[in-house]
C-alpha cells in the first residue's frame, strides 16, 4: 500500500483533464489514483497518451499535496514531434574521429575564440609525411560529396558524414615561440568549445587568420585555422616551409603545400 492510499484511501480518485497546449483543445479526461501521478510536475515530465508522447508544459495545481486535496488536475501538454531519421542532413562532409578535450574555464586571457566541436581540426596543419593517409581520407570524403550530398543556392548538405579515423592525431613538434615570431603575434587567447576551454589550448590572431591549437609545455602539438581570408595562402605556405608541414582543408579536400 502506497503513501497516498494510507492517507486518502484507494477509492479517492483525481479528475485529470489533458489539454493540447498548442491549440487549447481537450485531449481527454480521466480519473486516476494519486499513485498513478507524479508527486510534482515542477520537473520536466513526459506522458504517453493516445500512442503519442507529450511534454507537460503546465500543471494546475503543480504538486500532489494540492491536487489530491482538490481531486482535480489540469495538464497542459505539447506533443513531442519525432524527427524522421531520413530527414537528417549534415552541414559538413567530414568530422574528426578525435574529440577536443575540454576543461572548465578558470582564467581570463587577451581574447577568446569560439568554435563548434564539429569544426575541430577541419582546417589543420599536418606533418608532411602524412600525405598518404590524407589521400586515403580524401577517398571517403569525395564519396560523400559525389554520392551523399545535395546543393541549393546557398550551401551543400550531406546525407552521410565521413569520420576521419585513418589520419590520427597530428603529433606536431612546433616551438611555440618560433610560431609566434613567424606570425608576428604576441597576443595569445583561449579556445571556447560549448562553453568550456580547450585543454592546453591557445589562439593567435593575425591580419589574415585566426589560429588555434594545443600545447605540450612550449611545443605546439596541434595547429588549426578557424577563420581566414584570401590573403592567408602566403601565410600558410610560410608555416609549411618553416616547420616542414602541409595544410589540409578537410571539408573541401584541399591541400596547401610550400612547393
pLDDT tens digits for range 202-227: 999 998 889 999 999 999 999 999 88
For the ranges 13-17, 46-50, 155-159, 218-222, the lowest mean pLDDT is seen at 46-50
- The residues, ordered by sequence, that sit 6+ positions from 174 with a Cβ below 8 Å of its Cβ are 219, 220, 223, 243
- One domain for residues 172 and 72: no
- Residues 231, 183 share a domain: yes
Looking at the fold, whether 70 and 178 belong to one and the same domain comes out as no
The residues, any chain, with a CB within 8 Å of residue 86's CB and separated by 6 or more, are none
Q: Which residue has the cell 571539408?
A: 251
Name the pLDDT band for 4 (thresholds 50, 70, 90): very low
Per-residue pLDDT for 3 more than 70?
no
Which of 34-43, 72-81, 85-94 bottoms out in mean pLDDT, i.e. has the lowest? 85-94
Do 225 and 106 belong together in one domain?
yes
**pLDDT of 94:** 95
Cell of 178: 618560433
pLDDT of residue 108: 77
Confidence band, pLDDT 50/70/90 cuts, at residue 55 = very high
- With respect to residue 4, please indicate whether it lies within any of the assigned structural domains: no
- Dump pLDDT digits (tens) for 116-170: 899 999 999 999 999 999 999 999 999 999 999 998 777 899 999 999 999 999 9
Q: Is the same domain home to 40 and 122?
A: no
Q: State residue 231's pLDDT score.
A: 64
State the virtual CA torsion across 56, 58, 61, 65 in degrees, nearest 10. Answer: 40
Asked whether residue 62 is assigned to any structural domain, the reply reads yes
Domain with 25, as residue range(s), is 13-79
The residue count for the chain:
259
Whether residue 107 is found in the same domain as residue 230: yes
Residue 5 has pLDDT above 90, yes or no: no
Residues 252 and 127 in one domain: yes
CB 43 within 8 A of CB 19: no
Between 135 and 12, whose confidence is greater? 135
96 in any annotated domain: no
Confidence category of residue 89, pLDDT binned at 50, 70, 90: confident
Residues 111, 32, single domain; the answer is: no
Residue 30 located in a structural domain: yes
Give the torsion through C-alpha atoms of 170, 174, 179, 182, to 10 deg.
Answer: -100
For 249, phi then psi, to 5°, come to: -100, 95
How many structural domains are present in the chain? 2
Say if 126 falls within a structural domain.
yes
Region 179-208: mean pLDDT is 91
Q: What angle do CA 23, 28, 31 make, to 5 degrees?
A: 140
Q: Are 192 and 124 found together in one domain?
A: yes
Same domain flag for 120 and 226: yes
Q: CB 97: neighbour CB atoms within 10 A?
A: 14
The HSE-up count of residue 157 (CA atoms within 13 Å, CB side) is: 9
pLDDT at 45 over 50: yes
The predicted model scores a pTM of 0.68
Element (H, E) at 249: strand 245-249
More confident residue, 87 or 193: 193
Same domain, 207 and 112: yes
Query: Does residue 9 carry a pLDDT above 80?
Result: no
Same domain, 178 and 65: no
Task: Give the per-residue pLDDT at 1.
Answer: 36
Is residue 201 pLDDT above 90, yes or no? yes
Section 32-52 average pLDDT: 87
State the Cα–Cα distance between residues 160 and 118, nearest whole angstrom: 14
Q: What is the pLDDT of residue 230?
A: 64
Amino acid at each position: 500500500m502506497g503513501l497516498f492510499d494510507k492517507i486518502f484511501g484507494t477509492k479517492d480518485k483525481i479528475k485529470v483533464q489533458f489539454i493540447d497546449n498548442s491549440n487549447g483543445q481537450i485531449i481527454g479526461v480521466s480519473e486516476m489514483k494519486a499513485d498513478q501521478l507524479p508527486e510534482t510536475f515542477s520537473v520536466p515530465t513526459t506522458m504517453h497518451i493516445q500512442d503519442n508522447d507529450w511534454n507537460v508544459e503546465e500543471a494546475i495545481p503543480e504538486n500532489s499535496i494540492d491536487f489530491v486535496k482538490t481531486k482535480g488536475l489540469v495538464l497542459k501538454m505539447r506533443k513531442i514531434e519525432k524527427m524522421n531519421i531520413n530527414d537528417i542532413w549534415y552541414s559538413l562532409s567530414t568530422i574528426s574521429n578525435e574529440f577536443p578535450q575540454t576543461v572548465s574555464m578558470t582564467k581570463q586571457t587577451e581574447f577568446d575564440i569560439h568554435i563548434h566541436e564539429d569544426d575541430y581540426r577541419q582546417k589543420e596543419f599536418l606533418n608532411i609525411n602524412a600525405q598518404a593517409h590524407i589521400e586515403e581520407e580524401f577517398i571517403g570524403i569525395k564519396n560523400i560529396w559525389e554520392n551523399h550530398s545535395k546543393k541549393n543556392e546557398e550551401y551543400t548538405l550531406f546525407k552521410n558524414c565521413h569520420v576521419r579515423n585513418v589520419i590520427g592525431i597530428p603529433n606536431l613538434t612546433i616551438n611555440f615561440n618560433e610560431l609566434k615570431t613567424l606570425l608576428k603575434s604576441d597576443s595569445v587567447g583561449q579556445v571556447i568549445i560549448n562553453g568550456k576551454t580547450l585543454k592546453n589550448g591557445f589562439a593567435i590572431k593575425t591580419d589574415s587568420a585566426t589560429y588555434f591549437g594545443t600545447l605540450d609545455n612550449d611545443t605546439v602539438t596541434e595547429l588549426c585555422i578557424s577563420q581566414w581570408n584570401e590573403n592567408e595562402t602566403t601565410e600558410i605556405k610560410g608555416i609549411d616551409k618553416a616547420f616542414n608541414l602541409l595544410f589540409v582543408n578537410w571539408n573541401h579536400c584541399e591541400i596547401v603545400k610550400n612547393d
